[in-house]
Amino acid sequence: MKDYQGKTAVITGAGSGFGLEVARIAAARGMNLVLCDVQQDALDRVAQEFSAHPVLAQRVDVAKADEMEALAAAVQARFGAPHFVFNNAGVGSGGLIWENSLNDWEWVLGVNLMGVVHGVRLFTPMMLAAAQADPSWQGHIVNTASMAGMLNPPNMGVYNVSKHAVVSLSETLYQDLSLVTDQVKCSVLCPFFVPTGITQSHRNRPSELQGSKPTRSQLISQAQTDKAVSSGKLSAADVARMVFDAMDEERFYIFSHPQALQGVQTRLEDVMQGRNPTDPFKDRPEIGAGLRKALRDA
C-alpha cells in the first residue's frame, strides 16, 4: 500500500504515543482520520489538531465489543471501508505473575488482546468486501504488539501473555488473508522501550477493574519500566515512520530495535535444543542480581 491520498485510517489509542504520531503522518499523506481513544481530553486535543482534515473522533474503550461495533458502524457510514486500521491501544502492567489479580488480567487482556480482536473481526470483513468490489482497492492492518510478544521478560507476565497473543493473532491473520486476497495485507509492530505514556496507562483503568494496593514486585516492575522507557533513544515519531515504511514495503514484522532479536534467537534455540529458558540477564548479570535481591528481601 503506497497511495494514501483520500484513503481512510482508523487509529485506536490515537490520543498519545504511536497512535498520535501515526495520525500525524496519515494526515500529512492526505488521509481521512478516524481517531479513537478512551481518554476524552486527549481525544479532544488530537481532534482539534487535525480539525482541517476529514476527522471522525470517537471515545472508545476497545475492550468493549459494543463500543467497537458502534465505531465500525460509524466508520462505514462516514467513510466506508477503512484502508488502514491501526489496532494500537494498549496498557501496561507488571509484577510476579501469580500476584496479578483477576482485575489485572481482565484489564490488560481486555485492552491489549481483545481490542485487537475486535478491530480485526469488525474491520477485516469491511476491507475484504471493498477489495472484492474493486480489484484496485488496497488495505493494510497493523496490530501493535511488543518485543514482550517475542520474548518473556520476568516480572511482567500479564503483559507478556497479552502481547504474545497479539503476535500469534497477527501471524495467523497474515496467513488467513493470504488464502483469500492479495489486496489486504497486515503487519505486527513489536516496539521495545519507547517513550509513549504506556507506563502511566493506569490513569485510564476502569473503576470496576481497579487493582488492590500494588505489591512489591509490581512497584519494582513499574520503576524498572519507567527507567527503561524514559532512557529510550527512539521516539514515538520514529516508530510511526517505521509503520508507514512497512506498509509501503508490504513488510510484516516491524521491529523498532532489531538488536533485541538476539534474545528471540536465543529463545528459539532454547526451544529447538530442548534446554531450559536462558537467563535473560546473562549479559547484564548485575541487573538480574539486583532484581533477585530486591524480590527475595521483600
- CATH number, position 131: 3.40.50.720
Provide the percentage of residues in the chain whose pLDDT is more than 70. Answer: 92
49 alpha carbon, distance to own chain's centre: 23
Please enumerate in sequence order all residues whose Cβ is within 8 A of that of 25, keeping only pairs 6 or more positions apart, or say none. Answer: 240, 241, 243, 244
User: Is residue 179 included in any domain, yes or no?
Assistant: yes
Q: Is residue 2 in a domain?
A: no
The mean pLDDT value for 126-150 works out to 97
From 77-81, 163-167, 256-260, the region with the lowest mean pLDDT: 256-260
The reply to whether 265 and 124 lie within a common domain is no
Shared-domain flag, residues 191 and 74: yes
Q: Does 226 have pLDDT greater than 90?
A: no
- Predicted confidence band at 231 (pLDDT cuts at 50, 70, 90)? low
Average pLDDT, the chain: 92
The catalytic residue positions are 159
- pLDDT tens across 147-162, in order? 999 999 999 999 999 9
Nearest to residue 67, comparing CAs of 126, 118, 23, 142?
Answer: 118
Same domain, 284 and 241: no
In a domain, 47, yes or no: yes
Q: Is the domain of 32 the same as that of 158? A: yes
Q: Is residue 1 domain-resident?
A: no
Q: Lowest-pLDDT range, 16-20, 191-195, 250-254, 274-278?
A: 191-195
At residue 176 the predicted structure's pLDDT band, cuts being 50, 70 and 90, is: very high
Q: What is the arithmetic mean of pLDDT over 267-279?
A: 96
Same structural domain, 75 and 140: yes
Compute the distance between CA of residue 138 and CA of residue 5 in angstroms, rounded to an integer.
12
Given a cut of 90, whether residue 169 has pLDDT beyond it is: yes
Task: Look at residue 201 in the predicted model and tell me its pLDDT.
Answer: 61
Distance (Å, rounded) from C-alpha 272 to C-alpha 8? 43
d(CA 265, CA 109): 26
Q: Which of 16, 228, 237, 257 is nearest to 146 (CA)?
A: 257
% helix, strand, coil for the chain, step of 5: 55, 15, 30
Half-sphere exposure of 48 (CA within 13 A, CB side): 6
User: Is residue 152 helix, strand or coil?
Assistant: coil
- In this structure, the answer to whether residues 285 and 191 fall within a common structural domain is no
The answer to which of 73-87, 93-107, 176-190 has the lowest mean pLDDT is 93-107
Q: How many helices (H) and strands (E) does the chain have?
A: 10, 7
What's the grid cell of residue 8? 481512510
Residues 6+ apart with CB under 8 A from 79: 8, 32, 34, 54, 56
Q: Are residues 111 and 251 in the same domain?
A: yes
Query: Residue 266: inside a domain, yes or no?
Result: yes
For residue 204, pLDDT over 70 is answered with no
Neighbours of 183 (CB within 10 A): 19
Mean pLDDT of 4-30: 96
pLDDT for 275 equals 97
What domain count does the chain have?
Answer: 2
User: Is residue 131 domain-resident?
Assistant: yes
Q: How confident is the model at residue 195, as a pLDDT? A: 62
pLDDT at 38 over 60: yes
* Interior/surface letters 240-271, b for 16+ CB within 10 angstroms, e for the rest: bebbbebbeeeeebbbbbeebeebeebbeeee
**pLDDT number for residue 297:** 82
142 plus 273 within the same structural domain: no
Distance, CA of 264 to CA of 237 (rounded, Å) = 25
Sign for the pseudo-dihedral over CA of 160, 166, 167, 169 = positive
Same domain, 252 and 278: no
Mean pLDDT of 107-127: 97
Distance between CA atoms of 164 and 215, rounded to whole angstroms?
24
How far is the C-alpha of 151 from the C-alpha of 167, rounded, in Å? 11
Task: Tell whether 140 is covered by a domain.
Answer: yes
Q: 217: pLDDT confidence band, cut at 50, 70 and 90? A: confident
Same domain, 219 and 290: no
Structural domain range at position 205: 8-256
